[in-house]
Structures are given as structure tokens and as C-alpha cells.
Amino acid sequence: MQWIEVTVKTTSAAIELVAERLTVLGFDSFIIDDQEEFHEFLDQNRQYWDYVDEELERQMTGLSQIRLYLEDGPAAPETVSQLRDQLSALRAQYPGVDFGTLEVALANVRDEDWENSWKQYYQPLPIGERLLVVPQWLSPENPEHRIPVLLDPGMIFGTGAHASTQMCMRELERTIRGGERVLDLGSGSGILSITALLLGAKTAVGVDIDPKAEDIARENAAINALYADRFTAVTGDVIGDRAMMERLGDGYDIVLANIVADVIIPLSPVVPHFLTKEGVFICSGILDTRFDEVSAAIERAGMRIVSSDRQEDWRRITAMRAE
């Protein structure tokens, strides 16, 4: 099927009015690209990130537009004409608002282009000595007989491409001997829990504050034939929710936290509660510039650092209880 991508150029000041008018006209599914909303989102979620991709920030600079898709059929020209008329009427209705150009740009898009083209960017990715991250729609050759970690990347962090994830996966290769209980804090796609189980861990619990992550992690586990008897996904915040801590219990051989420094620092004091006496805490998502700060927080929490790693601008720390 052929589609038409319709892009309406406007301003941050007017984007909500334009979106409301599109909804009234029956366009109930569209994409908003707005620099101010982008920066507002970053400010409101600052505790979950340490840096913003420079290319993404460049792409959002000065951007304020709405994109929607029309089926390329006989009615499409009339629909676009009506849309332009309605946008002109909207400008007249609010003379004091800067709507920008309200230019309506059109581009043809095939079904497979906008539904599946993103998949081309995900290819099999060997990690460490034994692991191979594989998008679930591929069946690649595996001459080294690596352990395949199957994923549907979706929109949740944890595809295996990021340096912090790779360092955690390599550390799991070195750490797991078989039969471990694993707690994965900030589990995202579930990639680290799944990796641990495929390497021989007995059970894993993935925890994330994003409700979408719970379903995605569970689905990714099922792709790898890992079900509720071995993998559990839950939504919650172990830092601020005492009931969640109690629900998770203790006695974990490995606690994982591939998040960011501003979460790992307040998380550190609760980690020893989860660990067995000989258990290990593996954390990453730490920018090199925050390494000393995170290390100090881990040591204040009664743990000692036993190893660390660096890849690109990122660091990984492995720690154990000091006593």
C-alpha cells in the first residue's frame, strides 16, 4: 500500500492549537516534532540521562512540525485541500498567535518503508567471547556457535549496541557459573536478564519504572523460550518504594543496574539488602566523568569495587559487599 506523509510546519507557540484542529478534523494519529517539547521532556526526566545525542539535538533545533499519514487513494487530494483550508481558517481565528508558515509538505511513503525500514539498522552483533545479539526477525549464520540472544528492539533501551550494555554482558560472561539468582534494576528490554539466563543463571527478575518495559521484557524473554518459571518482569521504583523492596526480597547472587549515574548513586545504599554475602553488583551507564562520584557512593554503601571497565566514554563497575 502507498501512503502520503503530510508534514505541517508551524511554531512551538501554535503547535497545540494545530494538533487540536487536526484531532477535530479526524486525524487521531500523528507525530509531533517540537524543540521546546523535546527540551521540556529532557528537563522533566533529567535523572534518567547523562547526555543527549548531539545529532538528535541538532535535528530538533528550531523544529516545530506535525506529521501524519494518508492512504494514497482518490480521496487524498481533497483531504489535503481541506486540511490547507482549515489551517488558513485556524490562523484567521487566532490572529494574535504566531503560526509560522503552516506549510503543508507531501511525500510518498510505501507501507514497508515506514513500517519496516528501521529494521535494516539492526544486524547480528557479537559481544564478548560467547554472545550474539540477534534481531528476532533474522536467522543469521553462526559459525562460532555463539549463544544467540534474540530481541525485538522496539522502543525500549537495551539493544546491545550501547557500550554500557556490552560491558555488562561481557561481565556476565565472566561472572556466571550456573544457578545464580539475578536482579536486574532498570531492565529496559530485558537484555541483561535474558543474557544471564542464557548463560546459565537459574532465575532473573527485571524491574523498570516504565510500564511499557515490563511487557517488552517479558515478550523478549519468551522469544528466547524463557517463561515465568525463570523470568519475572515487574514495574516499580526500588529507591522510593519500600513495599517493592520487600516484594523483591533478598538473596540475589547478581544485581544489575545499567542505568545512569544519577540513579545508581541513590540506588547504591539499597543494593546490599538484595545481595547474598558473596553476591556481586554490576552497574554501568556511567559516564567517565562521573566514575569517581559513583565509586564513592558505592563504597559509602558498604561495598568494595572489585573491577571496572571502560568503553568509549562509558564505565562499568563491579562491586561486592565489604564485610
CATH code of 42's domain: 3.30.70.260
Please tell me whether residues 95 and 197 are part of one structural domain.
Answer: no
Q: Do 48 and 164 share a domain, yes or no? A: no
CA distance 160 to 138: 15
Burial of 276 (0-12, 13-18, 19+ CB in 10 A): middle
pLDDT at 315 over 50: yes
Residue 206 lies in a domain: yes
The set of cell numbers assigned to 210 is 516504565
Does the residue 216 lie in any domain?
yes
Facing residues of 105 across strands?
Answer: 7
Domain-embedded: residue 32: yes
Residue 258 pLDDT: 93
173 and 287 both lie in a single domain: yes
* 114 lies in the same domain as 165: no
User: Over 70: is that where the pLDDT of 54 sits?
Assistant: no
What is the percentage of the chain residues whose pLDDT exceeds 90?
61
- Are 37 and 172 in a shared domain? no
How many CB atoms sit inside 10 A of residue 246's CB?
10
**Domain shared by 110 and 184, yes or no:** no
Q: What pLDDT, on the 0 to 100 scale, is given for residue 119?
A: 66
- How confident is residue 25, by pLDDT bands cut at 50, 70 and 90? confident
> What's the pLDDT tens digit per position in 210-257?
888 899 999 999 999 999 999 999 999 998 888 999 999 999 999 999
Domain count, the chain: 2
Query: Domain ends where: 118, 140, 173?
Result: 118
Spatial strand order of the sheet with 252-258 comes to: 231-235, 203-208, 181-185, 252-258, 275-287, 314-321, 303-311
Backbone φ, ψ for residue 317 (5° rounding)? -125, 135
Range of the domain at 35: 2-118
The CATH code of the domain that includes 194 is 3.40.50.150
pLDDT tens for 91-138 read: 999 999 999 999 998 887 665 554 565 566 578 999 999 999 999 888
Q: Are 190 and 316 members of one domain? A: yes
pLDDT of residue 117: 53
| Domain boundary residue, one of 118, 142, 177 | 118
Lowest-pLDDT choice from 74-78, 136-140, 235-239, 317-321? 74-78
In-domain check, residue 148: no
Asked if residue 129 belongs to a domain, the reply is no
Task: Give yes or no: residues 189 and 90 share one domain.
Answer: no
Distance CA 96, CA 91 (A): 9
pLDDT value of residue 213:
87
On whether residue 102 sits in a domain, the answer given is yes
236 in a structural domain: yes
pLDDT digit string, tens, across residues 257-314: 998 898 899 999 999 999 999 999 999 989 899 999 999 999 999 999 999 999 988 9
- For 136-154, the pLDDT digits (tens) are 888 999 999 999 999 986 6
316 and 169 inside one domain: yes
* Average pLDDT of the residues of the chain: 88
Residues 29 and 85 reside in one and the same domain: yes
Quickly count: other Cβ atoms within 10 Å of residue 1's Cβ.
10
Which amino acid is it at 319?
Answer: A
Same domain, yes or no: 311 and 171: yes
As to burial, measured by CB atoms within 10 angstroms (0-12 exposed, 13-18 middle, 19+ buried), residue 181 is buried
- Does a structural domain hold residue 150? no
Q: Which of 265, 272, 193, 266 has its CA nearest to residue 232?
A: 193
Residue 263 Cα distances to 43, 110, 254, 307, angstroms: 15, 42, 18, 20
Pairing of strands 203-208, 231-235: parallel
Residue 195 DSSP code: H
Q: Which of 58, 90, 118 is the last residue of a domain?
A: 118
More confident residue, 12 or 55: 12
**Helix, strand, coil share (%) of the chain residues, nearest 5:** 40, 30, 30
Q: Report the C-alpha gap between 18 and 134 in whole angstroms.
A: 41
pLDDT of residue 114: 47
